[in-house]
Amino acid sequence: SSVHPDTDKIIPVLFRPPGNLDPKFIFAYNLSFLQFVFHTYTTGFTLLNGNGTTKAEEYSLEQKQIFYGLGAISYAACIGALPLVFMNRYTLKSSLTQLVVRKLLPAPLLGLTSAFTVAVVRSPEFENGIEVMDRNGKVVGLSQKAGEKAVKETALSRAALFGTTFFLPPVLTHFVERAKFAKTPRALASVRMLVIMSVLTGMLPVSLSMFPQCGQIKRADLEPEILSSTEETELFYNRGI
């Protein structure tokens, strides 16, 4: 988690996997600005923990990914805050609307936007390809199909992490309220924060282990130029996290 497997560079402390537990990002879906902060952080995490062997053709990889990242952050922040803004703009205050917008919609929406930012920021990996290796670590070539697989798996794991983290706490808190374990608003707020932190702490290793960081892909699924350069039945690549 501290050293990038492709470049051997030290990853900044804030952007290592344990950095995702920073509580100031927990309620990122409430306001547009906090949505922007949340997606800025997760985009930076994605940039520093993606595959490091991609080569951009027209611009430097850093320039291309930063450009894509800014667009993805802005779009995801607007989409994440849109339901709440829409509800307040048109004064939709019915109990059903409140339930959908404040309770049911944030979790899947945050999961989708998190997956979206991963796919956009790491799109150079499936546009230009990533290095694939044999069992001995020898680089066989660049594969767009391996890059697509790596990005897709990472996007799914990120959606599972944040979607579940924002779905389970309201459900669990609802049962706490019904059981009357927390008798004051302050106690209930403390329980809610504890539940969110507990779910996030549990989901972080689960999401990171959904797919192996050293991914495998069958030789038959790769490009013709790679098929002709090796006899290995399975090849390997760094998926990133």
Residue 236 parent element (H or E): strand 234-238
Q: Which residues contact 64 (CB under 8 A, 6 or more apart)?
A: 56, 58, 124
42-51, 176-185, 225-234 — which is least confidently predicted?
Answer: 176-185
Highest mean pLDDT among 20-34, 53-67, 127-141: 127-141
| pLDDT higher than threshold 60 for residue 16 | yes
Q: How many CB atoms lie within 10 A of CB 228?
A: 9
Partnered with residue 214 across adjacent β-strands are 238
Q: What is the pTM of this model?
A: 0.77
Domain boundaries along the sequence of the chain: 23-238
Digit-coded pLDDT (tens) for 73-89: 888 888 877 777 776 66
Give pLDDT, residue 26: 41
State both tokens at 162: 């944040």
Give pLDDT, residue 100: 72
Give pLDDT, residue 24: 40
Give pLDDT, residue 132: 92
Give pLDDT, residue 157: 92
61-65, 110-114, 122-126, 183-187 — which is least confidently predicted?
Answer: 61-65
Query: Could you give the dihedral angle defined by the CA atoms of residues 2, 73, 131 and 150, in that order, rounded to the nearest 10 degrees?
Result: 90
